[in-house]
Structure 1
Amino acid sequence: MSPRIRGLHSFRAWLQARPLAADTLLAFGLLLVGLPQMLLQELPKTAEFEEFRDPDLWGVLVVVIVTMSLRWRRRHPLPVLLFIVAGEMLVGVAGYPPSASDVLAFLIAIYSVAAHRGLAQSAVGGLVALTHLVVYIAILPVSTSPVEMMTNFVLLIGVWVLGRNLRLRRAYFAELEDRAARLERARGTDARAARVEERSRIARELHDVVAHHVSVMTVQAGAARRIIDRDPGSAREAMSTIEEVGRTALSEMRRIVGVLRTDRDPERAGRELAPQPGLGDLGELLDHVRETGLSVQLWIEGEARPPSPGVDVAAFRLIQEALTNTLKHAGPQARAWVRLYYGDGDLTVEIEDDGRGTATFMAEDGDNPGHGLVGMYERVALYGGELKIGPRVGGGFGVRARFPLEA
């Protein structure tokens, strides 16, 4: 951008921030146009134009005062219009010829009332302007043709309509901005609530996993205590199992720290402490999905190894959530694919479909983002993984997550 254009933008921004200064410059501009025309114009040498007085100091002073009143056109548009109407009537009664400054100031005042005030004051201003135009034309010593009168009326009404349209347009955009701000605040609130809800659910699941391991440790410790005298080898094996399970439980306990558990479900208090479903239950999940009519295929690549219990639950829940969204949004003829890649130290999970659910998957409830999507990010991030969600090339939707096998 050139320095000249940059300077013009800066000057425009300065005027927008200072409307009083901008209107003052507008009034000065009208005087620069109107005063020379008023002082230097030569009236036709006809009988009707001989009725006009030659411009003098008083006439110029009235024009200057009337035009400079535009300085307050935004703050007090209706009083400014009434003041300009009174000034023009004074000029007409005194016999001075109309000047460009008076006419332009009158039109700008009409526009200002329509653009900066409500319908009631705008209507009053329009009626005052129409009445003034009729009376002013009547007191002029020159005759006005019907075409000229019609042109003046159309111009006045057009300026008033322009001001009203711009006011309604500004109100419309202001409402849109306010609505967008409200939706953004509501979206942020919903996202925070979804994160809190998902963290609570993850905490409960991790609690079940850890509790299961603690139960195993208790049983193994009791068995080792009973057989340590008669079968030391089996007791040592039980102690090794306790050590291994204990390390796993501690690893899962570390993940519970920092996960906010906001609600306590009393119905879960009496439930049996058992691990959540994992990748070993994937076949049952896919069979259930196929029963709904969705064609699902499963590929497993690499050397399958059991991940940590938390990753096992997270990968299963991710597949479950992605297939649920496919059922809801992909359409009746869609197909889905689930792929598991076992790498050297990580597990990659991919769920893809060829449906139509690209837009609806990203926003489930009107303008609010889907809670399932937030839950996916929370769950994968909890285990130090990576998640990518987006449309597939050629149509459909894809979810790709990478989990470390040892979380």
Structure 2
Amino acid sequence: MSPRIRGLRTCRAWLQARPQASDAALALALLLVGLPQLYLEDLPRGLNGHYADTDPWHLLLVVATTMALAFRRTRPLAALLVIAAGELVITGAGYPPTVPDLVAFLVAIYSVAAHRGLAVGAVGGLVALTVLNAVLLAFPADIGLINYMTNNALVVGVWVLGRNLRLRRAYFTELEDRAARLERARGTDARAARVEERSRIARELHDVVAHHVSVMTVQAGAARRIMDRHPAGAREAMTTIEEVGRTALSEMRRIVGVLRTERDAETAGAELAPQPGLGDLGELLDHVRETGLSVQLWIEGEARTPSPGVDVAAFRLIQEALTNTLKHAGPQARAWVRLHYTDGDLTVEIEDDGRGTATIIADNGDNPGHGLVGMYERVALYGGELRIGPRVGGGFGVRARFPLEA
């Protein structure tokens, strides 16, 4: 950005922050342009005998009337009254009209209509019409009906212009306020979706931890019974308790992380069914195929057992992605599920050849977009990575990478 443009922007920002200063600058510009008229312009022939000669009093009246524009936005009605009074004094003293005070009169009419309500604006318009007609009646020559109507129409037109601009400004302000309210509502809705999803994840992790604690209890009881007659078996049971305890503590930390945000009180009656995992993937795909969606499954690499939480999260991710495909991909769509195992990671890919971005903007009235929020929450909880978006060539894809040992 050049220094000149930067300086212009700085000056503009300074004037916008100080409306009275910018209005005073407008008044000074009018005076610089119009004051030479008092001494350089000859009046039309035949009217010289009807106007008083320009003197310091005339100059002072023009300057005072024009400089009242400095208050056209802060006190528009007062500025209009001062300018109107100045016009009446100039006309009554027999001085000729000048460009600065006439333009200031029109600008003041516009300002009172644009910056004040209808009641104040109507009062300003009536005052302006009254002063205009008084000046026209006191004009030293016959101006004719056409000129009389034209001047009145000009004043009314300037007032209507100011009023329309005020209404338009209020309309745009209302649109901005509505957009801000919608943005806040969307943020609240997303936060509620995250809280709901975190609560569901916490319940699932609670079941996982409860299972581990049950295993520890059983192993501890077995070790106590065989400790005397089978020390090796007791040591093996204690080793199992240690491993299961570490896993339970890890899952417990995740529960605490999920519940760091506020959540609504849960209804009584917890779900007692065991949480599904990748071992139940075949049953899920069979159920999806029964709905008419063609689904294929590929497993690449040597299948490894992930941690219980990752197992549940991967299953839920596939379930949510296929649900979105059923809802939004279309009746002729096909889907593919890929599980790729490496030494330390599990990559899950769910793709379809349906309508693509319709899955993202899902707007069926039932918490649109909450499923995607849940996907991000689940994957982030276990330190994974998630990519969601349209496929090249059409369709939609979800790709997540989970560490096998989170």
Q: TM-score, normalised by structure 2?
A: 0.90
Contact 1:84 1:106 (C-alpha < 8 Å) held by counterparts: yes
Per the TM alignment, residue 164 of structure 1 is displaced from its structure 2 partner at its CA by 1.9
| Identity over aligned pairs, percent | 77
CA distance in 1, matches of 2:185, 2:109: 41
CA distance in 2, matches of 1:182, 1:265: 29
CA distance in 1, matches of 2:33, 2:309: 80
Does 1:83 find its partner at 2:82? Answer: yes
CA distance in 1, matches of 2:184, 2:43: 65
Per the TM alignment, residue 25 of structure 1 is displaced from its structure 2 partner at its CA by 1.2
CA distance in 1, matches of 2:98, 2:362: 61
Aligned partner of 1:349 in structure 2 is: 348
CA distance in 2, matches of 1:149, 1:365: 63
Contact 1:187 1:369 (C-alpha < 8 Å) held by counterparts: no
Deviates more, 1:306-315 or 1:123-132: 123-132
CA distance in 2, matches of 1:112, 1:265: 59
Secondary structure of the corresponding residue to residue 257 of structure 2: coil
Per the TM alignment, residue 225 of structure 1 is displaced from its structure 2 partner at its CA by 4.5
Deviates more, 1:252-261 or 1:88-97: 252-261
Name the CA shift for 1:123/1:336 in 2 (closer, same or farther; >3 Å): farther
CA distances 1:200-240 after superposition (whole Å, capped 9, x unpaired): 22221111011112222323443454556676676665555
Contact 2:356 2:394 (C-alpha < 8 Å) held by counterparts: no
Q: Give 1:313-324 correspondences, 5 Å limit.
A: 313-324=312-323
Secondary structure of the corresponding residue to residue 211 of structure 2: helix
Return the letter of the residue paired with 2:307.
S
Secondary structure of the corresponding residue to residue 258 of structure 1: helix
Give the length in aligned residue pairs.
403
Per the TM alignment, residue 96 of structure 1 is displaced from its structure 2 partner at its CA by 1.4
Deviates more, 1:275-284 or 1:387-396: 387-396
Per the TM alignment, residue 64 of structure 1 is displaced from its structure 2 partner at its CA by 1.4
Return the letter of the residue paired with 1:115.
A
CA distance in 2, matches of 1:125, 1:333: 68
Q: Give 1:86-165 correspondences, 5 Å limit.
A: 86-165=85-164
Contact 1:27 1:67 (C-alpha < 8 Å) held by counterparts: yes
CA distance in 2, matches of 1:149, 1:297: 85
Contact 1:23 1:71 (C-alpha < 8 Å) held by counterparts: yes
Return the letter of the residue paired with 1:249.
A
Name the CA shift for 1:277/1:128 in 2 (closer, same or farther; >3 Å): same
CA distances 1:162-218 after superposition (whole Å, capped 9, x unpaired): 222322232223223322332333333333333222222222111101111222232
Name the CA shift for 1:293/1:74 in 2 (closer, same or farther; >3 Å): same
CA distance in 2, matches of 1:191, 1:87: 61
Aligned partner of 1:42 in structure 2 is: 42
Contact 2:115 2:166 (C-alpha < 8 Å) held by counterparts: yes
Contact 2:219 2:238 (C-alpha < 8 Å) held by counterparts: yes
Aligned partner of 1:250 in structure 2 is: 249
Does 1:17 find its partner at 2:8? Answer: no
Deviates more, 1:89-98 or 1:312-321: 89-98
Contact 1:20 1:71 (C-alpha < 8 Å) held by counterparts: yes
CA distance in 1, matches of 2:283, 2:135: 90
Contact 2:387 2:399 (C-alpha < 8 Å) held by counterparts: yes
Name the CA shift for 1:155/1:391 in 2 (closer, same or farther; >3 Å): farther
CA distance in 2, matches of 1:123, 1:327: 61
CA distances 1:331-362 after superposition (whole Å, capped 9, x unpaired): 33333222111122101111222333525624
Aligned partner of 2:305 in structure 1 is: 306
CA distance in 1, matches of 2:359, 2:193: 18
Structure 1 unaligned blocks of 5 or more: none
Name the CA shift for 1:5/1:365 in 2 (closer, same or farther; >3 Å): farther
CA distance in 1, matches of 2:267, 2:96: 90
Aligned partner of 1:29 in structure 2 is: 29
CA distance in 2, matches of 1:335, 1:282: 17
Name the CA shift for 1:66/1:369 in 2 (closer, same or farther; >3 Å): farther
CA distances 1:243-298 after superposition (whole Å, capped 9, x unpaired): 443333233233223331745645445x54x5310111112112222233333222
Deviates more, 1:226-235 or 1:198-207: 226-235
Aligned partner of 2:6 in structure 1 is: 6
Name the CA shift for 1:264/1:212 in 2 (closer, same or farther; >3 Å): farther
Name the CA shift for 1:82/1:265 in 2 (closer, same or farther; >3 Å): closer
Aligned partner of 2:370 in structure 1 is: 371
Name the CA shift for 1:369/1:87 in 2 (closer, same or farther; >3 Å): farther
CA distance in 2, matches of 1:154, 1:32: 28
Contact 1:350 1:400 (C-alpha < 8 Å) held by counterparts: yes
Secondary structure of the corresponding residue to residue 323 of structure 1: helix
Secondary structure of the corresponding residue to residue 257 of structure 1: helix
Return the letter of the residue paired with 2:75.
H
Deviates more, 1:204-213 or 1:75-84: 75-84
